[in-house]
Amino acid sequence: MASMGRKSKDALVAVDRLLGGLEPPTRFQRLVARHPVAVGFAVAVPLILVSLVTVRPGDGIADALFFVGSSAALGAVFGGTAYAERLRQRRLVAQGLYTFPLRPGSGSGLRRRGRS
């Protein structure tokens, strides 16, 4: 059983390498990886609102639920993809292939408040 999980992980890493997974993340990829839940909601909420507005009164509740469910599923797919990007970036850091740049305003950590 454990070997099956290892084989699938190795296969996913091989596909990731084939698609350029060893490249450092772009600024947008870092942003998305930091906020996977927000990405899912940013996709799902507008689609849900649009689907609710476009359903006609004669369509019935089943059509409205289908559109809401499919919009939520699409948001979950985007959120899952953002989370997978977070895992990819963690793997790059663990392998020593990438280090995150310092955030603006964070300083180098050498100076402390109250000291001159």
pLDDT at 39: 97
For residue 63, give both structure tokens.
């059509």
> Do 111 and 81 meet the contact criterion of CB atoms below 8 Å apart?
no
pLDDT at 95: 85
* Selection from 45, 62, 63 nearest residue 54 by Cα: 63
pLDDT at 3: 61
Show the low-confidence residues of the chain (pLDDT under 70): 1-4, 105-116
What residue has token string 């639920």? 65
pLDDT at 116: 46
Cβ contacts of 41 within 8 Å, gap of 6 or more: 75, 79
pLDDT at 40: 97
